[in-house]
Amino acid sequence: MPLIAQYIRHLKMVKRFSAHTLEAYKRDLEDIFQGDFTYDTFDASDLESWVTTKRTEENLTPSTLNRKLSALRGYYSWLKSEHDFDNPKIRTFKNIKAPDTQLHAASLSTLENFIQGIKEHAHKDSWRDSRNITIVALLYGTGLRVSELQALTWKDVQSNTILVKDGKGGKERHIPLLPKIENILSSWKNQTPHTQSTSPLFPAKEGNSDALTTRRIQKIFKETCIRNGIHEELTPHTMRHSFATHLLQNGANIREVQELLGHSNLATTQKYLSADLDYLRNLHNQSHPLESADSKVKKMIPAKVHK
């Protein structure tokens, strides 16, 4: 068995990676070891050339490149432990530094316009429109990653919860369902013919039991925005940002939000606290004793300090 296939098998059997992650690792490693390259002929200068080509000619983003580099580092760590082959320069090759990006949460009015746009431009195929509205509601109501939503089957919809079995890093978690989301899912179940326990929650077509792809779900969002003149970027991942940001804005505990999102590191969740600077500024102004009308502290400190 080729070494890459052995490594992917190791990730599946030992690390318990999801099928989605396994396929991504396999694709990334095959992308790197094209042509005559093998693990023992590939060196750091080859890797630097590969990174440069991917950035300049294929315009790959730092996040995409870093995902591929993560797969490569993992492969070489496995080669060291299992086959006594080491290339420390590749095994410790650093990630590409990505520019800081502002997390984006959609406003409630934008979400309302988005869903209303699906309803107003409903096709004769009402099944498809119901499916799309359910997708939007579930993403916003649970904070699921699009890959997690795409992998759901009806057996994952349990009593008052959604079970995510193949989360990032192969972790399982239960996400509670709001009563409104439960009602939407129940209505959707009554409209789709594919309701066996192993059937995908969101099939590609009414007469086809194949699951929607993540790329198609992303395209649904893009097409709906264009059709309804929504200039604000709205993607499946925006729903996840909106879920977290709106929970925190309404007083949710950050560690509870971390659990719901499936973040291993609290620092990842903390990014949502700085995602809406205007909201935080208003909250600061309203909550601090120096701005309270009946605050004794405010009365003790003069508005102007005379020199």
Q: Coil, strand or helix: which one is 67?
A: helix
Based on the fold, state whether residues 86 and 134 are members of the same structural domain: no
Cα–Cα distances in Å, from 80 out to 66, 243, 302?
Answer: 21, 41, 67
In this structure, is residue 100 part of a structural domain? no
Q: Tell me, yes or no, whether 56 and 186 share the same domain.
A: no
Which residues span the domain enclosing 248?
108-278
Structure confidence at residue 68 (pLDDT):
92
Judgement on whether residues 23 and 84 belong to the same structural domain of the protein: yes
Q: What is the pLDDT of residue 55?
A: 84
Which percentage of the chain shows pLDDT scores above 90?
Answer: 33
| pLDDT tens readout for residues 216-236 | 999 888 888 887 777 777 889
Indicate whether 84 and 25 sit together in one domain: yes
**302 band by pLDDT with thresholds 50, 70 and 90:** low
For the cut 90, the answer to whether the pLDDT of residue 153 exceeds it is yes
pLDDT band at 277 (very low <50, low <70, confident <90, very high): low
Beta bridge partners of 163: 174
Do residues 112 and 201 both lie within one domain? yes
Q: How many other CB atoms are found less than 10 A from the CB of residue 249?
A: 16
> Is pLDDT above 80 for 169?
no
Specify the pLDDT at position 119: 72
What CATH number does the domain containing 63 carry?
1.10.150.130
| Same domain, residue pair 116 and 15 | no
Q: Is 269 part of any domain?
A: yes
Could you tell me if 122 and 211 lie in one domain?
A: yes
CA nearest to 224, candidates 116, 103, 107, 124? 116
More confidently predicted of 307 and 245: 245
Active site residues: 145, 168, 237, 240, 263, 272
How many domains does one find in the chain?
2
